[in-house]
Amino acid sequence: MRGKKTDYQFSGRLFYRLYFALVVSIVVIGSGLEYMASGEDEAERLGSLMKQQKPLFETLEQLLSVHSVEEWNSVLESLTDSVDSQFILLSLQDFSADQDTMDVLQAGDMLPLYDREDDLTVYRRINNTEQVIGVLVPAWVDTFAERNWMTFVFYGLMALTVLLLMLPFSRQLLKLKAAATALGAGDLSSRIELPANTTLSPIVEAFNAMADRIERLLLAQKDLTNSVSHELRTPLARLKFGFEEIRDATEDNRIKKGVDAMQEDVRELENLVDELLKYAEISQLQELKQEALPLGTLAERLSESTEPTQGIRVEVIYADGLSAADRLWCNGHHLHRALSNVLRNGMRYAHSVCEIRIRKPQENIIITINDDGPGLDTQHAQRIFEPFYRVKSAEGHQGYGLGLAIAFNIASKHGGSLRLCQGELPGACFRFELPNKPSNKMMF
């Protein structure tokens, strides 16, 4: 449930980010075009207005020409009372703050200006005098303000259209992510089923083809591992019996020494075969039966099964209020195998101590195995859990490269993880993180 919730949250964030980016892009581009279009419309309207006002200014010039400049104010006041227009008489020097405005008026052209209330007044110099008449244009309505509601409706419809177009695409992406996550978690049968005419159809076909190939390769690898491991058991058993007969039949110490060396080689091959079979068994597990195992029992089994190494002591530390009586939901047999693999690996490299620390900072149980040996270079961190990957050391300790791979798979089958981390001791530190919740079956 938690994984599904995380996937949904991730998909939701991706969808909303993409949706927000598209809507903002549409609004920005549309607003820019709207601004350019409204600017062109207003320029056309102002040009038309100038043509309409020109006869009025010519009539005013003729009317005022028969009066002295001192009488112009009273003449304009009487005109304002008799006609549905408002006239303003100003001096040319009132516009001296802006040279461009002065140039327009001195040239005798009409000048439209907006005041603080966005009312439009048209000014013109009269009869080459120092006087300027302003005519307040009645009922001048800003076209952009007129179309504001239409703009909001347009962008609202666009946002709704984008939402309806993106919802199916978002669902397809969520299916693709879910299938990829399941495949990465080990479900080799994970495939995507979408109609052939969908937008993601080419990607879906490529993903399914990739999944088919991966499934065939992994199954072939498992079959090969099983076959080789089982086929080797019979000849190895024959070699063991043959070496025993040779050793019993001779008194020559030189021959006995050679037989002993060959028997040791056979034992190493048997151990390798056992590791191969164990790795194949863990890889093919589809479910794990779990039990509530006391942590103390797990630690005791671990100590009993680990061969003692001279001078190396194993310390078990409980932290975060845990004790040996606390329980961990796990498959005791397989988890014990994983922990013992890591512990034996640490004891081979440790100088004096291996520390097992068990803690529970939140919901999960964390078990770290840390030694005081030379440690591991960070370059090995990405590959150390791969099968048959071995780290060369100056001490000459080398296994088969399967112990950590088996431990990693067991941790994954429990729904947990295994990784390298920084420990309190100077050597390598391996960190198991395991969910502690009851579950009779865990499917992968």
- Domain extents in the chain: 2-145, 203-284, 291-434
Task: Identify whether the C-beta of residue 268 lies closer than 8 Å to the C-beta of residue 400.
Answer: no
Identify the bridge partners of residue 112 per DSSP, sorted by sequence position.
122
| Rounded percentage of the chain residues whose pLDDT exceeds 90 | 5
For 164, the enclosing helix (H) or strand (E) is helix 148-184
Per-residue pLDDT at 3 exceeds 50: no
Of 67-71, 161-165, 334-338, the range with the highest mean pLDDT is: 334-338
Grade residue 235 by pLDDT with cuts at 50, 70 and 90.
confident
**Structure tokens, 60:** 């005013």
Give the residue from 181, 213, 158 showing the smallest Cα distance to 19: 158
Q: Which tens digit of pLDDT belongs to each residue from 348-372?
A: 888 888 999 999 888 899 999 999 9
What was the pLDDT predicted at 84?
Answer: 66
Task: Identify whether the C-beta of residue 173 lies closer than 8 Å to the C-beta of residue 11.
Answer: yes
pTM value > 0.75:
no
Is domain 203-284 in CATH 1.25.10, yes or no? no
Q: Which tens digit of pLDDT belongs to each residue from 389-433?
A: 877 664 555 666 788 888 998 898 888 899 988 888 988 999 999
Per-residue pLDDT at 17 exceeds 80: no
What was the pLDDT predicted at 125?
Answer: 86
Task: Identify whether the C-beta of residue 28 lies closer than 8 Å to the C-beta of residue 195.
Answer: no
Q: How many whole angstroms separate alpha carbon 131 and alpha carbon 70?
A: 11
For residues 384-393, give the mean pLDDT: 77
What was the pLDDT predicted at 432?
Answer: 94
| Rounded percentage of the chain residues whose pLDDT exceeds 70 | 81
**Cα-trace Rg, the chain:** 44
For residues 270-296, give the mean pLDDT: 77
Mean per-residue pLDDT over the chain, rounded: 78
Neighbours of 48 (CB within 10 A): 10
Q: Which tens digit of pLDDT belongs to each residue from 19-60?
A: 677 777 777 776 666 665 554 556 667 777 778 778 888 888
Chain CA centroid to CA 411, Å: 24
Grade residue 7 by pLDDT with cuts at 50, 70 and 90.
very low
What was the pLDDT predicted at 43?
Answer: 66
- First and final C-alpha spacing in the chain: 15
For the domain covering 291-434, report its CATH number.
3.30.565.10
Per-residue pLDDT at 346 exceeds 50: yes
Torsion of CA 442, 303, 358, 3, to 10 degrees: -10
Per-residue pLDDT at 180 exceeds 60: yes
Q: How many whole angstroms separate alpha carbon 158 and alpha carbon 165?
A: 11
